[in-house]
Chains A and B, each alone.
Chain A
């Protein structure tokens, strides 16, 4: 129930002790302000980093080959080997856990300027891919279209190019779509300009400097035979990609006469694992924020309790008088605690609002500084409601404690001693 008299009592008592009330409030204000700012900043870092990777399929795994490290079935150790087209067939037919499978060929990247168009030349990363690749590592067409199944079937000499390729190989007013690029001696028609949605990079080099051509075209045009350099797979929902990764490794080793216990012959990694590492990192940041924030808050609360003690000591006589004229200990305690809670919550609320305000301001500044939002590692500083509310809860409880200690002390002495206190 709202007790107007109680509020009048509290407000007039606080007004009387203006400076002290302010100082009391400041500790708490600062604690909660810092908590909000720190957790917002931590969250912003998380958003910034995760935005760069979140479009990447987290259920994906990647495989390449290395030289064998164990002699097996008549082969020496140190053998070079490759995946083959039949592996694609076999996996798609026999491993039900696979959602998408995309083989890849790496073009000759050490060749220097491998791309020519009239006077213009450039060194780019050339890959032969299946369309499914775009589902694993998301790319979107800025203009034109992505490589598709028909391109694969008909082994068309077409390509998708990154934004940097456009800059280097075309004049500003030219439309690259339909134009031809000579890549490692063969002409390819540009059918789409593509933009990478993630900053995870497989195969090295900048993503804007990518040229993707159909896998089949690359295999025949450049005489790779039936060699596959690299596999990207995603697991179906319900299957852990780590399990799939292990299973595929076993199958691939078996198919290529690689020792089952050869740990070096297949290089692989899965994004799920990397994601877990990231998640752990950000969880760590959040936990740290909480520890430091709560520590600061606690210091604020202890400050409140201390200052309340001083205030109550200074008001000993006043409290003695109140008791002489009929105030029960319960009433005295209620007043002091209400005063303390009021102070802490007020201060906390101001700290909360100001903290949120500062984060919002920061966000605006960041947005203005970089309107595209790409490549920023500090993005969207935000406060979560749960945290704000629990901080407020902590404040109320700590306000009660901060008030209770001096209040108990105030009523523990005899009223006459309180009145005599000068």
Chain B
């Protein structure tokens, strides 16, 4: 469902230009559970943002469900985002002056769903994520794990085809990180494509496909079968570290 062909992306900063993605070719199918790895600054977030239509690319083609994503009006992009993708961010990015339920319901507001209806749906999602009692709490009253679950509920409520998560566990402790990964696994099990960015091997190892970025290119793709090997190597890396 995602087809990237020779994607390039540079950031212009004054007179210099930083070439971050130097020709990415990538196919991701419906139902995949993918992690993007790579050292800091290798372009993981950049790639994810392009996938989520939050940022544009300079060269190449990006097809999403057969549609070419290029030079779209912001209105159209907004509609695609609302219909196709749900975002989960490292820093949660909840609206601080709205409670959990209102935050979750927000994407439906932009879709024009009446208030009662969308709040009811938001409650269902909060319940699924074990946050029913927290529906009327403000983000500032919740722990990191709870906030991330609210963010996931918000990403899910518009029933997207893809969940994009940029370091969803980056701000969480290990136990909470694993809880969040369990939730993402369940989401993936329901048929939704999940793509996460992470630099933690143990988190990546919970996905079914790992894409390693290096020098603006895909360095290697580790698929389901090879994951065991990856995990072994990873353990070794840990021991030697």
**Chain B binds chain A:** yes
Q: Known contacts A5-B109, A321-B93, A416-B49; decide if A328 and B75 are in contact (CB<8 Å).
A: yes
Task: Report whether B55 and A327 are in contact in the complex, using a CB–CB cutoff of 8 Å.
Answer: no
Surface stretch bound by A, among B95-103, B171-179, B197-205, B222-230: B95-103
Chain A count of residues within 8 A CB distance of the other chain: 24
B110 in complex: contacting residue of A4, A317, A331, A414, CB < 8 Å: A331
Cα-based distance from A317 to B78 in the complex (angstroms): 16
Max count, chain A CB within 10 A of own CB: residue among B93, B107, B154: B93
The reply on B89 being an interface residue by CB < 8 A is: yes
Cα-based distance from A329 to B77 in the complex (angstroms): 10
Q: Which B residues lie within 8 Å of A371 (CB)?
A: none
Interface SS of chain A: helix, strand, loop or mixed?
A: helix
The reply on B152 being an interface residue by CB < 8 A is: no
Size range of the interface on B? 20 to 34
A-B pairs with lowest CB-CB distance, top 5: A326-B82, A416-B54, A326-B110, A328-B78, A16-B97
Task: Report whether B93 and A13 are in contact in the complex, using a CB–CB cutoff of 8 Å.
Answer: no
B binding-site residues for A, Cβ under 8 Å: 49, 52, 54-56, 74-75, 78-79, 81-82, 86-87, 89, 93, 95-98, 106-107, 109-111, 115, 154-155, 158
Task: Report whether A326 and B55 are in contact in the complex, using a CB–CB cutoff of 8 Å.
Answer: no
CB distance from A79 to the nearest CB of B (A): 92
Q: Which B residues lie within 8 Å of A318 (CB)?
A: 95-96
The reply on A411 being an interface residue by CB < 8 A is: yes
Q: Which A residues lie within 8 Å of B82 (CB)?
A: 325-326
The reply on A120 being an interface residue by CB < 8 A is: no
Task: Report whether A328 and B74 are in contact in the complex, using a CB–CB cutoff of 8 Å.
Answer: yes
Task: Report whether A15 and B75 are in contact in the complex, using a CB–CB cutoff of 8 Å.
Answer: no
CB distance from A89 to the nearest CB of B (A): 89
CB distance from A297 to the nearest CB of B (A): 31
Q: Known contacts A5-B109, A12-B98; decide if A327 and B78 are in contact (CB<8 Å).
A: yes
Cα-based distance from A330 to B109 in the complex (angstroms): 14
Task: Report whether A328 and B79 are in contact in the complex, using a CB–CB cutoff of 8 Å.
Answer: yes
Cα-based distance from A415 to B164 in the complex (angstroms): 15
Task: Report whether A414 and B107 are in contact in the complex, using a CB–CB cutoff of 8 Å.
Answer: no
Task: Report whether A414 and B54 are in contact in the complex, using a CB–CB cutoff of 8 Å.
Answer: yes
